[in-house]
Amino acid sequence: MNLLSVIIPSYNEESNVPLAAARLSEVLETANIPYELIFVDDGSRDRTYEVICAEARCNPAVRGISFSRNFGKESAIFAGLREAKGDAAVVTDCDMQFPPEVIPEMVALWKQGYEVVEGKKRARGKEAAAHGWFARMFYKLIGKAVGMDMASSSDFKLLDRRVVNVLNTLTEKDTFFRALSFWAGFRTATVEFEVQERVNGTSKWSVRGLIQYAINNITSFTTAPLRLVTFLGILSLIASLVLGVQTLVRFFMGSAVEGFTTVILLLLVIGGTIMISLGIIGHYIARIYDEVKNRPRYIVAHRTEEERHAVDA
């Protein structure tokens, strides 16, 4: 039977790490699946890494790396994919919102020959109505960009070694893991699961963070906003032709409008459109700048393997 790597990004999850390790190993051992658990400490400010080290000492199937600072969940996932030694990798959360019992189902599908198994949320967890609406809009846009139905998708996935290798070759720094597995293609199956309540602690997302996340992910998958700029330009051009002819006709007929209001309104509308367009273009330039700098996506500061050697010596 082939090795399964479970990747668990963890940020300030000291209370959840032991729980996650216990539940995941219990489920996988019961299902007779050889596994390794890879905890990626995303620069936590609490004792997450110490707890991971303690777990690694008790259970040889547990490993961990720790970032030098917080690099975000995406970086943590990609670091985990690089670390993974398994023939397949599962990405899950540390707060156990993705039920570990689903993993054996995913593995079963993988054994049937599926290379990507997507975890699909049956119902979105408890959240505010505005949040739900926002999330749906966001997934519609992204779904259009990757040409797939992305609604109720999640970061909970199983990827075959082939897919992991493909993702490991991507050089882009700003990634959106959830959509990349759709983008990569391969034979895909889905399993549905019920999103659980977070066990301990609170969600790490602020509204501002979510908006930023949405904008970044949309622009990392589509240039539609840039086409919107062109579209706005065409609209203004048509409007200017119509208004221009009308203004000239009135001028020569000696009845030009002298209203200041028109001028102010026109300035405001055109000014606003130009500013927004510049903002959109600027956003893409900023992204090019970030990619061109070619900095590493994350910095690994510690590994549990080293810690073990330190104890042995």
> Is 119 one of the binding residues for ligand UDP (CB under 6 A)?
no
Give me the 162-201 binding string for ligand UDP, x by CB under 6 A, dash otherwise: ------------------------------------x---
Which one among 59, 70, 196, 222 touches ligand UDP, defined by CB under 6 A? 70
Tell me the pairing of strands 300-303 and 188-193: unpaired
Amino acid at 95: D
d(CA 267, CA 273): 10
Q: How far is the CB of 212 from ligand UDP (least distance, A)?
A: 12
Residue reference for tokens 């309540």: 197
Annotate 17-44 with three-state secondary structure. Answer: HHHHHHHHHHHHHHCCCCEEEEEEECCC
Give me the 97-116 binding string for ligand UDP, x by CB under 6 A, dash otherwise: x-------------------
d(CA 239, CA 242): 5
> Is 97 one of the binding residues for Mg ion (CB under 5 A)?
yes
- Three-state DSSP at 305 gives helix
197, 97 Cβ separation under 8 angstroms:
yes
Q: How far is the CB of 285 from ligand UDP (least distance, A)?
A: 26
Residues 200-219 that bind ligand UDP (CB under 6 A): 203-205
Tell me the pairing of strands 116-121 and 188-193: parallel
d(CA 211, CA 205): 10
Nearest to 182 by CA among 239, 143, 240: 143
Nearest to 81 by CA among 157, 190, 21: 157
Of the candidate spans 58-66, 125-133, 190-198, 267-275, the one that interacts with Mg ion by CB under 5 A turns out to be 190-198
d(CA 210, CA 215): 9
Q: How far is the CB of 280 from ligand UDP (least distance, A)?
A: 26
> Is 76 one of the binding residues for ligand UDP (CB under 6 A)?
yes
> Is 95 one of the binding residues for Mg ion (CB under 5 A)?
yes
d(CA 206, CA 21): 27
Nearer to ligand UDP, 97 or 304 (CB): 97
> Is 157 one of the binding residues for ligand UDP (CB under 6 A)?
no
Q: How far is the CB of 257 from ligand UDP (least distance, A)?
A: 54
Crossing angle, helix 207-221 and helix 224-252, to 10 degrees?
90
Q: How far is the CB of 160 from Mg ion (least distance, A)?
A: 25
Q: How far is the CB of 9 from ligand UDP (least distance, A)?
A: 3
Q: How far is the CB of 128 from ligand UDP (least distance, A)?
A: 13
Q: Residues, the chain, total? A: 313
Of the candidate spans 194-202, 210-218, 270-278, 303-311, the one that interacts with Mg ion by CB under 5 A turns out to be 194-202
Q: What is the contact surface with ligand UDP in residues (CB under 6 A)?
A: 9-11, 13, 42, 70, 72-73, 76, 93-95, 97, 198, 203-205
Q: What is the contact surface with Mg ion in residues (CB under 5 A)?
A: 95, 97, 198
